[in-house]
Each structure stands twice: as C-alpha cells, then as structure tokens.
Chain A
C-alpha cells in the first residue's frame, strides 16, 4: 500500500527539531531510521501531517564512555552498535541482542532511539535497557530530564515521552568484569518477532549477594522485569536450587497474551524454559 500524503522537513539541530515539533502540534511525527515508522505509514496505520527528520542531528550521534558509564546517542544505528568496540567491551549484552534485531538491511538504518521510542513489546532492546538499568536523556520544551528505563516503557507502543519530547541519549553503567549477561529469544524464523525472549544480567560472584535481573519481552504489553522470580533465585542457597520456585513465580510477574503465534499457556511455558536456559548459561559462564 501507499502512505497517505504528508509533508516533510529535515531538522539540522536539536533546537530546530524541538521548535518544528512544537509548531507541528498533534500532526507532527519524528522520523530517524524509519524502519518501524515507514511500514506503519505504508500500511496507513499512521497519518501524520508532517514528518520531522532527525536522522542528521549531531546531538543524537556518537558512542562515548567515561569512567563509569557508556553513552549512546539516540541516533546510533543498530549496525553501529553491533560493531562498536566500546559497546562490545562495556555492554556486551547489547551486541548479543542486536544480532536478533530484524535483518542486516534493517539494522543498517534502524536507530537505537527510534527502537526505544517505538516501544514494540516484542522488541529486544527495550528489555536490554531495563536489564542494564539504563537512563534515558530526554529533551522537551521545558528542558532536559532523565528517565530510568524501568519507568520509560508504559505499555503497547507507549513510553514516558510526551508528544513534544526528543530522546537524545541513553546512558548505561559500564558492566564490571564479573557481571554476566545472557540473551535468548524463541522465534519461528531468524529475524522475526519473538514469541518470547529474555535479557538477563547477573551482578556479583558469591551465591549470596547475587543481584539478578531477568527481563522478558514478547510477553504482555511491555518488557517486564520478573522481580518475584529474581527474588527466588537471589534468596536460594544457590541460584539453581531456587529455579523451580522462580519458574512458578513467573506467573506473578508475567501476563502473557494470546495471539496467532502462541496462546498464553504456551508463552508462560516458553518463559519458564527461557529462565532455566538463561540461568544455566549464566552459571556456566562463571565456571569458564
């Protein structure tokens, strides 16, 4: 199908983009890589009056790090994340996850910020952001503010961004060497949206004092931190001894939906399988 007609303007700076967005009001929509937006336009699911292109804003570019954090410009393309040495060294979870995001041709244009702002519940990167306790730097007409990833994703395609906000940068604490990460998803075909997926981070080395963050995606209307299950794993004598209880506790954490790909019971079962595989992998990494 062909998109409804709309107007288009390319912003050169963040200040200009904010002012264009404010002036456009309800009819304005930001475009960066467009890899989720253009399909929605072509399918006539969206009908903006004007697209404001922020792909070339210098303020949204670049991957940098300081002593404690790595900072990812919202305009960073998936392909750049996949090959960045800084990302590989300090947030390896993202490079494992990025291989599951769509296909090469889409990773060449899709951006991190666009992916997060789109907030598809089956998307890989929002779950990683919650697992990694990322902070989003957002700029709006009233100035800057920072939003924790756990508060950023509000529901189906819904975030804490207001209509006149722009997501500028994502900051993530550099993972210490002993932090272990795991990523896995179950999809019917490589690159397809997952029926269920898991991003998991484990801090610490001792059986007691471990901090575990399992975040599921493709289950429910947003990526979900399975905090009841995490507590079962953290409070057990050793995490594997807590697995059965954690798998049971997932029914308190997750509200699986039913769709053409899988029914709710199947999704809950997949989540339990993913948790077991994830924990097994994390513990095996420690022995390596």
Chain B
C-alpha cells in the first residue's frame, strides 16, 4: 500500500507528487498544492462543491482518485480566476448577490461556465438543469440563475458587436 509518484498538470504548472492511492483529487489539490478553492462538502458526489475541470470537462474532484488523473490537464477555480476566463461571471454573481456563504460558489462558477461554453444561449430551465448537480443552501438558486442568464446575454451582445 505504498505511495505512488504521479505528475499532474494543474493550472498550467506541472507538479510531481507522492501520494497514497486512496487520496482523491480534491484532497490532493487542497492539501498538497494549497489550492483550497476546490471545496469539499459530501465527498460522495452529491453536493458538487468540488467541481473542477479535467481535460476540459467538468468533473467531481472527490470522485476522481489523484492516481487516476495522472497525465490529465486539471483546471481549478484558481486557474480560471487568474486567467480572467470567468471574470464576467464572478462580477455578475457579486452584483446579483448570487452567493451568501460562498461555499458552493467556486464550483457553481465552473459549472455555469461549462454550460455557457457548450450552450451560449440557454433558457432558465436549461440553466437550472445544468446546475442541478450543485447544491446551494443559501440563495434558493434564483439569483444564481439570474446571474448566469445575465452573463449569457451580455456575452451574446458582445459577440454580435465584435
């Protein structure tokens, strides 16, 4: 049951890590790389707070063993924040009060961005369906759906002007 040496590409940086096979990726990101924006709620795939991007696809970090992610390209909320990719979503969440305690917010932002990348013009039901795997216990979701809808429209308008 020894440790395994793996290489992970996280937010554009390569890391060589010595980890136990039982460690899931959320723990490794938080404990080994101090990327604490990936939150841990239920640790069995229900709450969605640990959602990250793996090879471009949103993934539950608590349901992926770090050893399985060897060689994968991983993006966390820290990477998406620093690159500015979701700056407009973050602004909209703040302006619309789409967060209160903030626990679900990093994963909610990543999930919302995933929807907008695949479907730039979602209706409210589609937004609700896509974030249905992400629990928020504060907002009642209404403000989150508003914020995502606002950003979708703003990006559409910006795209038409460009």
Contact = CB atoms under 8 A, between A and B. Distances in A.
Interface stretch (B83-91, B128-136, B150-158): B128-136
A108 interface: yes
A106 B63 contact: yes
Nearest to B46: A39
Interface string A150-189: 0000000000000000000000000000000000000001
A84 B36 CA distance: 36
B58 A104 contact: yes
Contacts of B67: 8, 10, 53
A38 interface: yes
Nearest to A55: B68
A284 interface: no
Interface residues of B, number: 32
A38 B45 contact: yes
B64 interface: yes
B59 A109 contact: yes
B21 interface: yes
Interface residues of A, number: 31
A7 B67 CA distance: 10
A43 interface: yes
Nearest to B21: A8
A103 B133 contact: yes
A34 B133 contact: no
Interface in B36-65: 43-45, 48, 51, 54, 57-60, 62-65
A2 B31 CA distance: 14
A260 interface: no
B58 A108 contact: yes
Contacts of A10: 67, 70
B1 A189 contact: no
23 contacts: A5-B1, A5-B22, A7-B21, A8-B4, A10-B70, A31-B68, A34-B63, A34-B65, A35-B63, A38-B44, A38-B64, A39-B45, A42-B44, A42-B62, A43-B44, A102-B45, A104-B114, A105-B48, A105-B60, A106-B63, A108-B58, A109-B57, A191-B132
B146 interface: no
Contacts of A8: 4, 21, 65, 67
Contact of B22 (A4, A109, A190, A191): A4
Interface of B: 1-2, 4, 20-22, 24, 27, 43-45, 48, 51, 54, 57-60, 62-65, 67-68, 70, 111, 114, 128-130, 132-133
Contacts, number: 91
A236 B27 CA distance: 59
A51 interface: yes
B71 to A, nearest CB: 9
A137 interface: no
Nearest to B27: A2
A66 B22 CA distance: 41
A103 B68 contact: no
The 4 tightest CB contacts between A and B, nearest first, are A103-B133, A8-B21, A39-B44, A108-B57
A201 B48 CA distance: 34
A41 interface: yes
Given A35-B45, A190-B132, A106 B68 contact: no
Interface in A262-278: none
Contacts of B51: 105
A79 interface: yes
B24 A105 contact: no
A5 B3 CA distance: 10
